[in-house]
Amino acid sequence: MLIRAEQVAKTLELHAGGATVPFIARYRKEATGNLDEVQIQAIIDRDAELRELDERRAAILKSIEEQGKLTPELAAAIAAVRTRAELEDLYLPYRPKRRTRATIAKERGYEPLADVMWGVPGAKWEQPLDDDALAGARDICAERVSESAELRRFARMHATRRGAIGSAVRPEKKDEKTKFEMYYDWREPIAAVPSHRALAVFRGETEEVLNVKLQLPDEEIVTGIKQRLLRRTPMPDQLALAIEDGWKRLLSVSIEGELRADLKQRADAQAIDVFGQNLRNLLLAPPAGSRRVLALDPGLRTGIKTAMLDATGKLLETATLYTERSASERSSAQKLLQRLVAQHKPDLIAVGNGTGSREAETFVRAAVSDVPLVSVPEQGASVYSASEVARDEFPDLDVSLRGAVSIGRRLQDPLGELVKIEPKSIGVGQYQHDVHQPLLKKKLGETVDWCVNLVGVDANTASPQLLEHVSGIGPVLAKRIVEHRNTTGPFPARRSLLEVRGLGARAFEQCAGFLRIRDAHPLDDSAVHPERYPLVEKMAKDLGVQLRELVANGPMIEKVDWKRYVGGDVGEPTLRDILTELRKPGRDPRGSFEPPKFRDDVQTLTDLREGMTLEGVVTNVTAFGAFVDVGVHRDGLVHVSQIAGKPKVGDRVTARVVSVDLDRKRFALTMR
């Protein structure tokens, strides 16, 4: 889709006025021409890049002007560039630098000879051509080769298209088995290398297992530079030597550094995008909802930590079940579990899928037969347990028991619980600790914000950690909202949010449509923004019914002629959104909950057999494949060549076992 200039201008105007991406995407569709949140974020990011470029451009112009070297032609060239690389190329000859062989040659008076060698019209050299003079002139010309914007552009483009990246095992590591074995003798074109392989070899280099080298088309680039320069020089042999030296000693080193940085940046961007997609799918996993949950955090020697939660996630009771140390303790644990179930009547039993999970499931099934058991991913539960958020929630609860609470709550509402955990600790990315951390944090923050605002938040029950991701709120207002409702009681209506200290008209405009108030105004539990309440009330009046009679009344809503209400800043996109919301107000977009089904006879790696067909849950998707939990403590890899369709994190899939490697504790699956 081609985005028009006026769409960009309006988007940036709204953003400059304090509007958030979720608000613009949801409630200002007429202004932006119906752009979605991805397009809006891309516009905002590109604007920030251009502003940074303009700031750098201004600094460079000032620096060159202060040196007294800014010509009209150079100023025009600097004004015309559109990338940071081109800008830095133009600045390179004027950048303050350390003493080089070229600067020493200039100090010795060899620059006029270098001008002759370079082919500068009218240049003269009237002194003897001794070896020192020729060497000095060559040094100056070599530096000119490395600092020429035109030649750098040619070399960079050719190296990108024709170069390769290669890795080799370090001699002292050649007999060791490591996770980088496939890269011990590896080569791939720079232009085609996938992000996961680039990040893998860079990790291998960091861990001192691999030597990584970019292999550039040296002869082709040197030949191309000679073709551009030698035709105008009276000293072709000398300039040819300077070109070869300039490439080998200066320009190739610089270009390799740039290409490595570009390759890393590209790999980072791809990996971060994969992480963002996985996180989005995980956060939007269907919730079990308002059901009573008995949560188990499995442990073998240390026991199964147990937490009983009511339908709102409130902690009712905790216990530790010792099932693996002795028969008497297992019998006592069974009686304790049966008492918890009889007393609290849970609707579901949640079992974390970490070490000891299948043993815990076997124990539970033997003790309790009439409560559905659900395996829950427990990545990040231990991070939450030791966090400040967990200490604030449960100051008197043992760290190990907090993990059980987190497992139970993430079954009830994955989004509401997972926002309390640092996203990169959830384990749904590839090389997340190797990528550029500020960019990763930005992307994951945007992803969490988008998910929270898509689903909507109950203003009377949400945690501060969930509220802070709502459009226009942030951490400070989130805490004030919670403090206000704790002091004065639940909010009776959306408008009562304005009573919160610091939550003014602008913040209310941004957040109101994403916050829900149950049992209040008929539209307060919907995504209809309060600014459109009068419009919906007019629809009801025109139909001759009360507002409550219109909400969720499909046949009545079908009678609304939306074209009658187009006008001003209200167009077809907004009206269609309103009618959709009126049909199912407050509808949760995450779908219905369905627990995974693992085979009872497959509990460890040793139970797997080639050709066995299993049901599982996708736990991670990377550029090279998908990982699937089939209930054996380890996730199996479905290589990208064996994937059918486009599986997402949280999807239930059927896969067949291809191979099992017990020594390396790995197994491969296929979905074909």
Can you read off the two tokens belonging to residue 598? Answer: 């693992």
Q: What is the pLDDT of residue 599?
A: 78
What radius of gyration do the chain's Cα atoms show? 32
Q: What is the pLDDT of residue 591?
A: 82
| Domains along the sequence of the chain with CATH | 293-412 (3.30.420.140), 457-583 (1.10.150.310), 605-670 (2.40.50.140)
Q: What is the pLDDT of residue 634?
A: 81
Cα–Cα distance, 221 to 243 (Å, whole number): 10
Low-confidence ranges of the chain (pLDDT < 50): none
Secondary structure (H, E, C), 246-278: HHHHHHHHHHHHHHHHHHHHHHHHHHHHHHHHH
DSSP string, 152-196: HHHHHHHHHHH-EEEEEE-GGGTTS--TTGGGTEEEEETTT--HH
Cα–Cα distance, 569 to 382 (Å, whole number): 49
pLDDT tens digits for 407-453? 999 999 999 998 988 887 777 766 777 888 888 889 989 999 999 99
Cα dihedral 511, 515, 521, 527, rounded to 10, equals 80
Q: What is the pLDDT of residue 631?
A: 80
Q: What is the pLDDT of residue 190?
A: 94
pTM to 2 decimal places: 0.84
Q: What is the pLDDT of residue 134?
A: 97
Q: Which SS3 state, helix, strand or coil, does residue 394 take?
A: coil
Which residues have a Cβ under 8 Å from the Cβ of 624 and sit 6 or more positions away? 194, 196, 430, 639, 640
Cα–Cα distance, 406 to 384 (Å, whole number): 8
C-alpha angle 369/374/378, rounded to 5°? 140
Do residues 33 and 7 make contact, with C-beta atoms less than 8 angstroms apart?
A: yes
DSSP string, 312-374: TS-EEEEEEE--SS-HHHHHHHHHHHHHHHHHH--SEEEEE-STTHHHHHHHHHHH--SS-EE
C-alpha angle 553/559/562, rounded to 5°? 110
